[in-house]
Amino acid sequence: MQWYHHCTHLPASSYSCTSEQWWIDTCPSLFWKYRYVFWGCAAFYIPLWKGIQWYLSDKEPLGKIWPWFKHALISWNIFLSVLSWVMMYNIGLALIQLKGQIGYIPLCYQSDQLIDSDSEEFKASHTKHVFWMVVFMASKIPEMLDTIWLVLNKKEVITLQWWHHLTVMLYCWAQGVAYPDSGDGMLFAFINSFVHSVMYPYYALSILFPCVRHPMIRMSITILQISQMVVGILLRMSYQANCTPIYPDRQRWVGIAGWVIYGSYLFLFAKFFVDQYVFKAKSKHTKGDKKMR
């Protein structure tokens, strides 16, 4: 597949293309070249955790029989916490720099508009933010292991859990193929990294200190996740109304996928909130009343 982007007028072996141009020209090609990695993860994801569930159906949870399970799980969540913080910082810094350079919140930003800028500051910041966008999109593959940790400890895997990890990974791959450094993608990455920078530390701390699992803390994190979906939908609406894609044939499908995932996540998170903090609370209250009688 040919990618007609900044450097396609140059021979494939040419090194005269500047690094920031090379990055944005190469990223879609790399995401397409390694599409089978993403597609393979998508294809084997559900059979893998379903197979582990079946294998462990008559066995003890790994958390009970392997003494290092808790340490490994804490380390995993700390790793994802640090990664989320680093991505949030670098992508957020890129958004601030872009706002300073173009004068507005870069929702409609597309690097083709400014790639010929003579500003060395722009070139350096552009190369850096494209790199961190690639890291963000690729990070959705290891995040799928969250489901495996649950299954190994024989915890319930709800629809929200597996659907979110599967579809966001494919969505990020599609974004990488279509346009890895568009403004709407950067805003999505920043917001998602921010939410994860709160969520993963909570997971790590909740293993170490059970008191952290207080209903109010859990509810606050769920509200934060729901808010992310609401903001995502509002951003999509604003993008549709105000922005003109440079590559509409590619970006159109990513936009449709954005509506699907944000809409489905909002529904599933809202359902989770109601199930956990409304119906369960009522059920506990009813049981308490019966015991008092």
Q: How far apart are CA 81 and CA 201, in angstroms?
A: 6
Q: Which of 126, 129, 164, 196 is catalytic?
A: 164
Q: How far apart are CA 40 and CA 241, in angstroms?
A: 35
Q: Is the Cβ–Cβ distance between 179 and 109 less than 8 Å?
A: no
Q: How far apart are CA 162 and CA 116, in angstroms?
A: 42
Q: Is 69 helix (H, G, I), strand (E, B) or coil?
A: helix
Alpha helices, DSSP H only, in the chain? Answer: 19-33, 35-55, 62-65, 69-102, 120-138, 145-152, 159-178, 183-208, 215-242, 248-274, 280-292
Q: Is 60 helix (H, G, I), strand (E, B) or coil?
A: coil
285 is known as an active-site residue: no
Q: How far apart are CA 184 and CA 244, in angstroms?
A: 12
Which residues are known to be catalytic?
164
